A and B are shown apart, each in its own frame.
Chain A
Amino acid sequence: MAKARPIPGLSADISYAHAAALTIEVRSEELFAHSEGVLDTQDITRLHAMRVSTRRLRAVLEFYAPCLPREQLRPALKEVRRLADALGARRDPDVELQALTQFAGAVGPQDRPGVERFIEGTRRQQAEANADLAVALEAMVADDLRGRLEELAAAAAIRAGLEDQALASEGTQLR
């Protein structure tokens, strides 16, 4: 699992709102950095990395909620949750197939047909989840999740009285 990136500038004494701006920016970058190739079921580590990034981002959005404008946070959080759900729904069969394949190799020939039958069902589940994930990834782009997250980081910076950082968050754009 990819380690969480450190948050430059984070310290105990900075304001909660300032920390929100710094953290959301880094966790958003992490999410989009891991968004490539996640529909490839041959390499399940990519999806796992993006899923963990989504969980981290969701956790920090919830943690910093008091520093963020509710009307901007709610739709962004909803979108992140939707993405997390879609990634989780693909991850479950990924993990299950890995374990089942190992199990099928370990059991005797008389047990294998039943295990294979169950594996077929898990493969179907993986394919369906992958199709749903493709839709969620398209929605992530269409709904401009990246832009929403940048706006949230900028709003937190403004709340902290850091207008320059707010401009940097929205101006440099992670796009």
Chain B
Amino acid sequence: MKPGKVKNLDPDGSLAANAEKVVSARLDELWSFVPDVLDPANVEELHEMRIAAKRLRYVLEVTAETCFGPYAVAAEKRIKRLQDLLGEIHDCDVQYPRVDALRRELEGEAASQLREMAQGSADLDPGLVASLEPATEERGLVTLATYLRARRELLYDQFVAMWNDLERDGLRARLKFALSERPDAAAGGLAQTVGGGR
């Protein structure tokens, strides 16, 4: 998914004013994947949410400390953890079908062997299965697929718990507020809101 175009950016305006608009838009994009991602079957949406988290995180990496209130730095760290977790889920989603495809390939090879053994018989004798070489490789692949599936489920549960924590802690609203604050260098990093006496 391409990042949404942010309107009214001004190269002559301050970094903070422009960054506020961009971060706010990227934050909304991240949240736009809810509730879709709360269904574990929505693999593509989870993947796109990871990309949205990455975009938000890297803009915050440059601007959080410099441009915004202190919560922006804390939010960046939490979004990075979210991105990492979604990345691990994505790895499982990519690897599992490949393991399954190889297992099916081996199954296909074994089926071809059985067909050859049948040699034109009208039906396949179940007793021929005993003549097949033991499916040692298939066994390991089934184990690996089972592991990936269980790990994916575990990671997904962690994702839901993490997302609920972000919602409960009000990350979106708190970050939006921090975007409206500017660091006050004179006060040693204390922030003040835009229009609040600056």
- A interface list, Cβ under 8 A from B: 4, 7, 10-20, 23, 55-56, 59-60, 62-63, 66-67, 92, 95-96, 103, 107, 110-118, 121, 159-160
Contacts and interface: CB of A to CB of B under 8 A. Distances in A.
A118 B145 CA distance: 11
B144 to A, nearest CB: 6
Interface of B: 3, 9-19, 22, 54-55, 58-59, 61-62, 66-67, 91, 94-95, 98-99, 102-103, 136-144, 147, 182-183, 185
11 contacts: A13-B14, A16-B9, A23-B62, A59-B58, A62-B3, A63-B58, A63-B62, A107-B143, A112-B140, A115-B143, A117-B140
B149 to A, nearest CB: 14
Nearest to A68: B11
Contacts of A115: 140-141, 143-144
Given A14-B15, A66-B18, A114-B136, 17 more contacts: A11-B66, A11-B185, A12-B183, A13-B14, A15-B12, A16-B11, A16-B14, A16-B19, A20-B11, A23-B62, A60-B62, A66-B9, A95-B91, A96-B95, A103-B144, A107-B140, A114-B137
A15 B141 contact: no
B108 to A, nearest CB: 14
A7 B62 contact: yes
